[in-house]
Structure 1
Amino acid sequence: MDSMKTLHRPVILSRPGQANNRLAELLSEKDDIEAWRWPAFTIELPEETELVTQRLANLDDVEMVLLPSPSSVAAVAHWVRKWPEHITLAAVGEGTAKAIRCAWGENVPILYPEGSAETSGSEALFALIEKRAVPSRVLILRGQTGREWLPQKLREMGSDVVVMCAYVRVPLELSARAVKQLKDALMGPSPILYVTSTDAVDAIMHAVRPIPGAQAWLARGTAVTIHPRVVRRLEESGFEHVEITSADDEAAREHILANLQVQTSDAV
């Protein structure tokens, strides 16, 4: 007589900070799913903060401040409690715009592309900026590295663009507990990975590289992401099953649940 053993696919969440915790808690409370929390990066303030402090203390000559991600919002909130009235904030998508409103209120002026993450990003934001008067000076506050396409396009428009490092991203290093959990899972079903940036894909694949078979195990699973650019990076990393969703916790939860199929193995 056959007996059935059920094995659930692990769920791995890779966003930094509270965004990761918020989705993990949603899955735990509503669906009794204990996700693995693997933030691809830990966000820290830079060692040298004097230049950022001085710049944010006097924004009289700045017309627009671009915050590319929720991480940049969390970091800049360390310095800024209220923006001067002449400042327009800019974001590349609704997720960051939501974080801005949470940090500084519903009435802060924000320019951002509305709609799904698939129709957002630097290109969509630039199209909105092009329809306005050229901002005289744009301050971009981001991590230690970032995509250069938008700063270059703004300079070509005639804007004086200042890019500053407001936070440092420290790549994921798996804890001893996470390594053991991963090794124990390698013989079971491959996971559902929720990942929202190309850099995060690279960080996660690098973090598991020392463990034999871990990269292949990850790539056999399902990746859920929010932008076609991340889809391409996942496919380059060997993922064959990639789904795209909006940058919304409930939408991510629905995709995770849809893919969380119970695996069975027979034992005699």
Structure 2
Amino acid sequence: MTAAGCPGHSPAAVSTGRSVTGDPLLSGVATVVVTRPANQAAALSDPLRAAGAPVLELPTLAIQPIELDPAQRQRVLDLDHYDFVICVSPNAAQLGLEALADYWPQWPVRQQWLAVGPATGAAMADWGLNLKVAQQGATSETLLDWPELQQLHQRRVLILRGEGGRETLGQTLRQRGARVDYLELYRRVCPDTDLTPLLRALDAGPVILTVTSGDGLRNLMTLAGPDLDRLRLCPLVVVSGRLAQFAREQGFADLWQARSPSAADMIQTIASIEKREP
């Protein structure tokens, strides 16, 4: 998706960062700020650089694994009791599969694993699972239209997620008859990030912000402190309508929604920002 009134996008050669003519897709005029956790930034930063953008990695979110309590550990031991296992993020997939594999050298048979988004699916791809991936969208609600999740009487579902995640998916599945449990594997914390490089970039020229979660945006606003109003003037690329609405409520007006968090879709959206009429 794009901002209202923006031109459509061509998918040509986005993965290489170059157009069909071989030219970089991005002008290189604006610095693109990547706010993903430090260990996940390269998946967006490297394609952005290949597309011609100067990139500033500024992590506004850190992933902190948490130790499973006795109730959560019991859910790991009871893995074969669940009909469906849903991973809502790459972090949930990575940490959850590592924890489960310690107890389950072979996965339970006839168990369906579901992944929210291609990035989560990629994190699960090499584990030998009976896996189905929601290819479009970046929210857990994407799964709710799937036929296998409509009638869930006496079915059990385990959702792998971070601490205090959104309840919409679990609540809806319960309304459809499922018994839903959570395996909470990490918490999202605000890192001790120095904003000086961002302030220098703002002084030097145009800046485009990218944010892929509400927590990341909240932390960016906290870190900005008295400079928050300067950030609100920058184009902000988000990855869902829900996140766009939240950003709008926080005073960001120049909002652009990418089709997904993938590097290809983010680059296409940034290219549209650069091509718009001044």
Query: What is the aligned partner in structure 2 of residue 16 from structure 1?
Result: 37
Instruction: Output the amino acid matched with 2:268.
Output: E
Query: What is the aligned partner in structure 2 of residue 251 from structure 1?
Result: 265
Hey, what's the Cα distance between the residues in 1 that align with 2:63 and 2:36?
11
Tell me if 1:226 matches 2:239.
yes
**How many equivalent residue pairs?**
242
**What is the Cα deviation at residue 93 of structure 1?**
2.7
Tell me if 1:191 matches 2:191.
no
Query: What is the aligned partner in structure 2 of residue 155 from structure 1?
Result: 174
Hey, what's the Cα distance between the residues in 1 that align with 2:257 and 2:183?
31
Query: What is the aligned partner in structure 1 of residue 66 from structure 2?
Result: 46
Of 183, 187, 192, which residue of structure 2 is paired with 1:173? 192
Hey, what's the Cα distance between the residues in 2 that align with 1:109 and 1:251?
28
CA contact (8 A) 1:52 1:166 kept: no
CA contact (8 A) 1:94 1:112 kept: yes
Residue-by-residue CA offset, 1:233-263 (whole Å, 9 max, x unaligned) = 11112111111223221221232344358xx
Hey, what's the Cα distance between the residues in 2 that align with 1:19 and 1:180?
21
- Superposition map of 1:1-268 within 5 A: 8-16=29-37, 18-28=39-49, 30-31=50-51, 33-48=53-68, 51-81=71-101, 83-101=107-125, 103-105=126-128, 108-115=129-136, 117=137, 121-128=139-146, 129-131=148-150, 134=153, 136-175=155-194, 179-209=195-225, 212=226, 214-247=227-260, 248-260=262-274
CA contact (8 A) 2:237 2:266 kept: yes
Structure 1 31/154 Cα, relative in aligned 2: closer, same or farther at 3 Å? Answer: closer
Instruction: Output the amino acid matched with 2:233.
Output: R
Q: TM-score, normalised by structure 1?
A: 0.78
**What is the Cα deviation at residue 219 of structure 1?**
1.3
Structure 1 154/133 Cα, relative in aligned 2: closer, same or farther at 3 Å? Answer: closer
Structure 1 87/134 Cα, relative in aligned 2: closer, same or farther at 3 Å? Answer: same
Residue-by-residue CA offset, 1:125-183 (whole Å, 9 max, x unaligned) = 112144455561111121111111111111122211111311121123313xxx32133
Q: TM-score, normalised by structure 2?
A: 0.76
Instruction: Output the amino acid matched with 1:63.
Output: D
Structure 1 260/74 Cα, relative in aligned 2: closer, same or farther at 3 Å? Answer: farther
Residue-by-residue CA offset, 1:58-94 (whole Å, 9 max, x unaligned) = 4121111111111211211322346323221123333
**Identity of matched residues, %:** 26
Gap runs ≥5 in structure 2: 1-27
CA contact (8 A) 1:24 1:35 kept: yes
**What is the Cα deviation at residue 27 of structure 1?**
2.4
Residue-by-residue CA offset, 1:173-224 (whole Å, 9 max, x unaligned) = 313xxx3213323434452111112222212111212xx2x21111111111
Hey, what's the Cα distance between the residues in 1 that align with 2:150 and 2:203?
54
Gap runs ≥5 in structure 1: 1-6, 262-268
Query: What is the aligned partner in structure 2 of residue 264 from structure 1?
Result: none
RMSD of equivalent CA atoms: 2.6
Query: What is the aligned partner in structure 2 of residue 4 from structure 1?
Result: none
Q: Tell me the secondary structure at the aligned position of residue 192 of structure 1.
A: strand
Structure 1 83/168 Cα, relative in aligned 2: closer, same or farther at 3 Å? Answer: farther
Hey, what's the Cα distance between the residues in 2 that align with 1:146 and 1:32?
35
Structure 1 158/133 Cα, relative in aligned 2: closer, same or farther at 3 Å? Answer: closer
